[in-house]
Structure 1
């Protein structure tokens, strides 16, 4: 059992000091994943990978719910989902602001994650991804791990416990399906 898996198990059993031990072990890898995701965003995006990692990490270990981490791959899959949700929430907030809602002052932090011109695209992707998830949760997981977490095909296959050829086929299918779905709805 790797150190990460062992510490995840300790977190699962309620050890309060385990979360402090986990961050140094996964931080660099989570930061690389966040940086890869943010590199795919349009220019003008001001969020730092560090902020995205911290927000996602807090959602994973400080949400008060006991998590059942099955493996290191499961943890990173959950991290990818947390990053996706953070970006989607920010896109929704930006879209609301663009439509004239929320006339209160906003801090720089509220404006950091994603440019408003990109918010609509991200929301369209999320809506299509939710439809794909209802059709094939595994294909949707492949998209989340590849697009949001920046995992490679081999890393995605390992995280999901599937063959590389299956991950390649799922990724190809999902990209085409999502493109068609987004085009159809725009």
Structure 2
């Protein structure tokens, strides 16, 4: 049993001190995932990779009854936590109180690029919820690849499937989501 799996078992049994031992072991990987996801966002993003990692980690370790089978399961939960944080931020930004549909204009640039990433994230999240009801495995691949930034090879390893299956499922899920997002527009 690896160090991460051992510590996850300790956390599951209620050892709160074990969560302090976990962060140094998984921080670099979580930071890489968060940085990859945030690199896809538009310039001017206010959420930093470090903040995303810390918020996701706090949510994961403050869960009253965590149950992670292994390192891969933990990273899948981390990807889901990051996705939810990004969706919450997108929803918050789209509220009138936080600027609503106003777009940030960087000076001296003329205008921000077309296509608000907040709207895109919300549309993908809505479609992803529908996909999860229809095909949970395909939805999990989208969460890990699109929201957590894992490569499809890494997604295959985390989910215990071959590289070819991960690519095939990604192709299906991407096509399904595109169809759903376009039909909602």
Same fold at TM > 0.5: yes
Note the C-alpha offset of 1:117: 2.9
Q: In 2, distance between residues paired with 1:42 and 1:154?
A: 26
**Residues 42-81 of structure 1 deviation map (CA, whole Å, 9 limit, x = unaligned):** 1111221000000000000013x12111110000000000
Partner of 2:6: 6
- How many angstroms does 1:99 deviate by? 8.2
Distance in 1 between residues matched to 2:55 and 2:184, nearest whole Å = 31
- Give the alignment's TM-score, normalised by structure 2: 0.88
Q: After TM superposition, give the deviation of residue 91 of structure 1 in Å.
A: 0.9
Matched, 1:143 2:142: yes
Cα distance per residue 1:102-154 (max 9 Å; x no partner): xxxxxxxxxxxxxx932111110100111111110000000000011111122
Match of 1:126 in 2: 125
Task: Give the gaps of 5 or more residues in structure 2.
Answer: 101-114
Structure 2 residue 73 is matched with structure 1 residue 66: no
Deviation at 1:162, TM superposition (A): 1.6
Query: Who is 2:57 aligned against?
Result: 57
> 2:42, 2:128 → 1: CA distance?
20
Matched, 1:84 2:111: no
Tell me what 1:30 maps to: 30
Runs of 4+ in structure 1 deviating by more than 2 angstroms, as ranges, are: 97-101
Give the deviation of 1:98 after TM superposition: 6.2
**Per-residue deviation, residues 154-181 of structure 1 (Å, max 9, x unmatched):** 2111111122211110001111111111
| Aligned equivalents of 1:16, 1:45: Cα separation in 2 | 33
In terms of mean alpha carbon deviation, does 11-20 or 157-166 score higher? Answer: 157-166
Partner SS state of residue 19, structure 2: helix
Q: Does the 8 A contact of 2:92 with 2:98 survive in 1?
A: no
Aligned-pair Cα RMSD in Å: 1.6
SS in 2 for 1:127: helix
Shift in Å, 1:100 = 6.8
Which residue does the alignment assign to 1:47?
Answer: 47
Q: Give unpaired runs (5+ residues) of structure 1.
A: 102-115
